[in-house]
Structure 1
Amino acid sequence: MGVELKAGKRSASPFRFDNVGSFLRPEKLKEARASFAVGDISADELKRVEDECIIDLIGKQKDVGLQVITDGEFRRSWWHLDFMWGLNGVSKETVGKGYVFHDEETRPETARLTGRISGENHPFVDHFTFIQQYAEEGVIARQTLPAPAQFLAELQRPENISATEEFYTDINVLVKDIAKAYQTVIQDLYAAGCRSLQLDDCTWGMIVDPNYWNARQDTETVEGIGELYLSVNNLSIENAPEDLTVTTHVCRGNYHSTWASSGGYDPIANILFEKENVSAYYLEYDTDRAGDFAPLSHVGEEKSVVLGLFSSKTGELEDKETIKTRIKEAAQYVDLDRLCISPQCGFASTEEGNILTEEQQWEKLRLIKEVADEVWN
């Protein structure tokens, strides 16, 4: 293909060898959460177990060579709902049906409005403060949040729409309040020392799936919904400090090693890659469900792409030469110097986790580092 694999290491996030954020929960943590749920241990006792498990996880992240540490989302049940529940004006609710994945259905939980939305005193700020104390020279702490568009999509689920419209009859006012709440949380995270923020977003993977449109009964379009999601995301980060690196991760579902949607980036490339005001995209590319690399030609020259070429859904290790060939293919559309690699998603987007062992999880990350060191030396 005529592309030389030659570029240097990176000293800023995202890094050549990177990770999406969540990790398999250890049994000790699962047992503690189960005990807390039935009232056998207190919140303080649960926090002590969480703290211990996170400290151990941080050590393992550093040992495997990651230059970014997270808390593995160990204090959460879901990658997205726990954050939403932490906002003012939002409640945790049980509904009749969970999210439908390819082979499974999730727990039937959602986030529903009980009032106007705001972001003061969000518990995730304390969660970040805990991991920030373990940052050091060459290792930064990162906070992952569900994207504002993801929150908007949750509030527009059929089960939630009546509650949403009780407080917001104008979609523009809803978008502004979501953005304002996120701005509050982001400023508080920044004050706590956060300089790397990742917005996890399944909305783009959803609206490129033909099945999503087959289920709709309206006249909306990919462009119309895409521009709405773009607006709430951009409005939420428009006042972010200049030295805060804001990236986004695009996913097609990651639950117990199953997936939720399929479709390439082509229909939304001109919106997501050209207009979203983030510095890098963590993109699912571990299967053909994500399409080819051609849409990456829309990514601006000032932005980076983290290729999710490795699957977090399985312990099977990818072939190094195959991965290098795919990096060469992607480099036809985005300069190699603006490329990095990672798993396509976290190892445990929910506390159930994917179907692989903790050792397989670390073996996968060691392989990614080996490839990154060989490609970007």
Structure 2
Amino acid sequence: MATLHAPFRYDYVGSFLRPEALKKARADFETDAISATELATVENDAIEDLVAKQKAAGYHVITDGEFRRSYWHLDFMWGLGGIEHIELDHGYQFHSEETTHGSARVTGRITGENHPFVQHYAFVKQFEEEGVIAKQTIPSPAQTLAELFREDNGNETTRVYPKLDELITDIATAYRQVISDLYAAGCRTIQLDDCTWGMIADSSFWKAMAGSGFTLEDEAEKYLRINNLAIEGKPDDLVINTHICRGNYHSDYACTGPYDAVAPYVFAQENVDALYLEYDDERSGGFEPLAQVSPGKKVVLGLITTKSPTLEDKDSVIRRIREAEQYVPLDRLYLSPQCGFASCEIGNKLTEDEQWAKLALVKEIAEEVWGC
């Protein structure tokens, strides 16, 4: 099993639509109507059912669908030592709607011991079988760093960490602890989900930052540094990939802009094994920045959208793969949806049947293009 790693020719990012029974159980737990043990039983049953469906769909990778999380990123941050769960007065303002209000705030030195995601991974790992592996998705270190400077969060962050270098070092060290513990639990594929690159590629972000003294180069160097520092020293047989997104909440998006400005950093210099890239619409720009992907790095083209139930035209997707092949050889290209189906538990605006139809299309196209 240890010789198999994601990405696979047909793949997915990781999150899935939550079943109604799971949504109800999580809501009941929040009002103390059920216990943590009762919630865990519902979560376990839902995850086991999801894994069976992932296998039945013919996929070689299984995840828990992020069924134990409210958010793709914050639940991980809340599991680190020295970080607490807070609720702000408002959420992120996406293109058409505002998100829920959760965030993360520093309370002390950040550590990575005894992270609950290690046990979450271990539950999924038991369902591995010949030709099928479990991967673990977590937010990137850069994402955690960005959240700790989100609006007023930064005041508490700088109180605990007056020196940015010490904060970066502690976040990276905490991540290395979690990565080590996941590895000890048998994990050989970890995915770092990362919206920071999409954020700084958006020109509107820089308009908002005007006059603050920040530059794209400084932000990119900072994010590249913390991500590579967290990956540093990983075991040779551990694959660490990254997924780059521009926001995915209830079928809405947060950012827009091509990869051109960030490609010299994340494509060329981030020490990951594969890039899962959002490419489902014009907000992502063209494939030209793929020319800067470092040799040997794999590219997973997110050409199928999870934001809409409408199935893509197969021939159009194949044409786009051929366009990307001008910049990265076909044997280093892979196919997936552009993001998860439910980055937050609210989920995107499609049904479970439509979700599985999307994944069936990904598999059908990959089999035609690569003969897998």
TM bucket by the smaller chain?
Answer: over 0.9
CA contact (8 A) 2:5 2:239 kept: no
Distance of 2:289 and 2:198 partners within structure 1: 14
1:346 to 331, 340, 348: 340
1:186 to 173, 179, 183: 179
Distance of 2:151 and 2:100 partners within structure 1: 17
Structure 2 residue 152 is the aligned partner of structure 1 residue 159: yes
CA contact (8 A) 2:5 2:189 kept: no
Query: Residue in 1 aligned with 2:110?
Result: 117
| Alignment size in residue pairs | 368
How much has 1:219 moved relative to structure 2? 2.1
Structure 2 residue 280 is the aligned partner of structure 1 residue 283: no
Query: Residue in 2 aligned with 1:375?
Result: 369
1:313 to 304, 307, 310: 307
- Secondary structure of 2:249's aligned partner: coil
Query: Residue in 2 aligned with 1:195?
Result: 188
Structure 2 residue 21 is the aligned partner of structure 1 residue 34: no
- Secondary structure of 1:266's aligned partner: coil
TM-score where L is the length of structure 1: 0.97
- Secondary structure of 2:166's aligned partner: helix
Distance of 2:318 and 2:324 partners within structure 1: 10
1:297 to 267, 270, 291: 291
2:12 to 9, 19, 39: 19
How much has 1:222 moved relative to structure 2? 1.1
CA contact (8 A) 2:5 2:188 kept: no
Amino acid at match of 1:23: F
Query: Residue in 2 aligned with 1:169?
Result: 162
Query: Residue in 2 aligned with 1:45?
Result: 38
Distance of 2:328 and 2:298 partners within structure 1: 8
- Secondary structure of 1:55's aligned partner: helix
How much has 1:314 moved relative to structure 2? 1.0
CA contact (8 A) 1:95 1:159 kept: no
Distance of 2:248 and 2:5 partners within structure 1: 27
- Secondary structure of 2:204's aligned partner: helix
Query: Residue in 1 aligned with 2:59?
Result: 66
CA contact (8 A) 1:310 1:342 kept: yes
How much has 1:157 moved relative to structure 2? 1.1
How much has 1:240 moved relative to structure 2? 1.1
Distance of 2:102 and 2:123 partners within structure 1: 27
Structure 2 residue 80 is the aligned partner of structure 1 residue 96: no
Distance of 1:52 and 1:298 partners within structure 2: 44
CA contact (8 A) 1:70 1:143 kept: yes
Structure 2 residue 116 is the aligned partner of structure 1 residue 126: no
- Secondary structure of 2:262's aligned partner: helix
How much has 1:12 moved relative to structure 2? 4.0
Distance of 1:11 and 1:156 partners within structure 2: 37
Distance of 1:65 and 1:151 partners within structure 2: 33
TM-score where L is the length of structure 2: 0.98
* Runs of 4+ off more than 3 Å: none
How much has 1:11 moved relative to structure 2? 6.1
Amino acid at match of 1:208: A
Query: Residue in 1 aligned with 2:327?
Result: 333
How much has 1:220 moved relative to structure 2? 1.5
2:204 to 211, 217, 220: 211
5+ long unaligned stretches in structure 2: none
Q: Aligned-residue CA RMSD in angstroms?
A: 0.9
How much has 1:97 moved relative to structure 2? 1.6
1:50-82 superposed Cα distances (whole Å, 9 cap, x missing partner): 000000000000011110100000000000000
Query: Residue in 2 aligned with 1:139?
Result: 132
1:222 to 216, 224, 242: 216
5+ long unaligned stretches in structure 1: 1-9
CA contact (8 A) 2:5 2:133 kept: no
Distance of 2:214 and 2:105 partners within structure 1: 23
CA contact (8 A) 1:202 1:253 kept: yes
1:358 to 340, 348, 352: 352
